[in-house]
Structure 1
């Protein structure tokens, strides 16, 4: 998978608790199609069910489900002609799976079309980081995940654009300006 310029599918990735979901909500309010994070949707479903695929119970099972859900999201949004923003996606799921002892990231992503070459990364932001029922890992674990993601996106040919620690509206303006 080499990042593509032609794709209008743009990923927001980076550190857990760094403001991705809030930024996605802002982009949605501005009229852009958006796709919520696969991991959060899986955790919500698992917490209502038996919990077998929670990331703190079985990371590999969780990551496999996230990969399938991210692929379904891409397919579902394939008819959109303008920008579509994804809160995490295939690469994030493949990186989690590799971390859990699964397949190589490049091998797992081979069947899929790349996202837009720019990936927007939320950096670690201790001042806003919070745990909750769906995010149980501490900031140190979140930073380690961020480091794995930055490395993987670069190895796959993406250009990581680290979002500044601005207000949500300013972050959205920055992101949209970078895509012009």
Structure 2
């Protein structure tokens, strides 16, 4: 593990551009961990469950928590000084709060145990919001989910940095420029 490794999380409601910027960071050679929920959703669909989160939210969330914890631990084994994540562990309980689904204390305990360095927030942006096979939330739902995400990270004491709207390269450079001050 790189000493003082920066673990950077991209958060925001569905369809806000996080994954697109993460892919741009990958193209620049950065170590990036993809969103876990897409893989969980696709596997469930192959098993005949169209929307696992809607039919079994706790099972879905357990799978997400496990996947995000594995990503965090895998990042610890990496030599890179900066590691990016498309969503973090606190996203899991934020979504559970959004859906008013009870969950074990373990979710919050894991969010407190695994600490990230910086949180970059992507606000809902109607112009770029789309739905697809794994992202079914409307723009209005994205707005509400976004508030639950902000609350979850704020309650854990994180300083949230808002990424301005703009072209992919502008958003990517904003993040990198924000980090260069710390290097």
TM-score, with structure 2 as normaliser: 0.87
Residue 101 of structure 1 is matched in structure 2 by 102
How much does 1:109 deviate? 2.4
Structure 2 residue matching 1:77: 3-state secondary structure: helix
* Residue 22 (structure 2) pairs with residue 24 (structure 1): yes
Number of equivalent positions? 173
CA deviations over 1:111-131 (Å, ceiling 9, x no partner) = x32011x20111010111111
The CA distance in 2 between the partners of 1:53 and 1:129, in whole Å, is 20
For residues 50 and 154 of structure 2, the distance between their equivalents in structure 1, rounded to whole angstroms, comes to 32
Does the CA-based 8 Å contact 2:10-2:18 persist in structure 1? yes
1:115 has 2:116 as partner: yes
Name which of structure 1's ranges 77-86 and 170-179 shifts more when overlaid on structure 2.
77-86
1:72 aligned partner: 70
State yes or no: 1:39 paired with 2:41: no
Q: Provide Cα deviations, 1:101-157, integer angstroms capped at 9, x if missing partner.
A: 2135533424x32011x2011101011111111111211111111000101111101
Distance 1:100 1:21 in 2: 26
CA distance in 1, matches of 2:76, 2:110: 20
Q: Does the aligned pair in 1 maintain the 2:93–2:152 contact within 8 Å?
A: no
Matched residue, 1:135: 135
| TM-score, with length taken from structure 1 | 0.89
Which shifted more, 33-42 or 89-98? 89-98
By percentage of residues, which structure has more helix?
Answer: 2
Q: Deviations over 1:16-70 (max 9, x none)?
A: 1000110000000001010100111111111111328711222222111100000
Q: Is 2:90–2:108's contact at 8 Å kept on the other side of the alignment?
A: no
Which sections of structure 1, spanning at least 5 residues, go unmatched? 1-5
SS at match of 2:121: strand
Looking at structure 2, the residues matched to 150 and 102 of structure 1 have their Cα atoms a distance apart, in angstroms, of 19
Contact 1:60 1:96 in 2 (8 A): no
- Hey, what's the Cα distance between the residues in 1 that align with 2:24 and 2:38? 18
Runs of 4+ in 1 over 6 A off after TM superposition: none
* Change in 2 beyond 3 A, CA 1:78/1:108: closer
| Paired position in structure 2 for 1:3 | none
